[in-house]
């Protein structure tokens, strides 16, 4: 569902996949930042 919304927003499969693949790294970075604060 999220991929379909991203595809409808950007009209490009590669940009939607890039955002989906970067999401776990953003979550790990956010948790790491909260841990070290």
Q: Is the pLDDT assigned to residue 31 strictly greater than 90?
A: yes
Please report the sign of the dihedral spanned by the C-alpha atoms of residue 24, residue 26, residue 30, residue 33.
Answer: positive
Q: What is the pTM of this model?
A: 0.65
* In the predicted structure, residue 1 carries a pLDDT above the cut 90: no
Question: Residue 24 burial (CB < 10 Å; 0-12/13-18/19+)?
Answer: exposed
The confidence score (pLDDT) of residue 5 equals 93
What is residue 28's predicted lDDT score, i.e. its pLDDT? 97
Domain residues of the chain, as ranges? 2-35
- For position 37, what pLDDT does the model report? 86
pLDDT digits (tens, 9 = 90+) for 3-27: 999 999 999 999 999 999 999 999 9
């Amino acid at each position: 569902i999220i991929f379909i919304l991203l595809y409808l927003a950007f009209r490009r499969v590669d940009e939607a996949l890039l955002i989906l693949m970067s999401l776990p790294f953003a979550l790990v970075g956010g948790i790491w930042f909260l841990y070290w604060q």
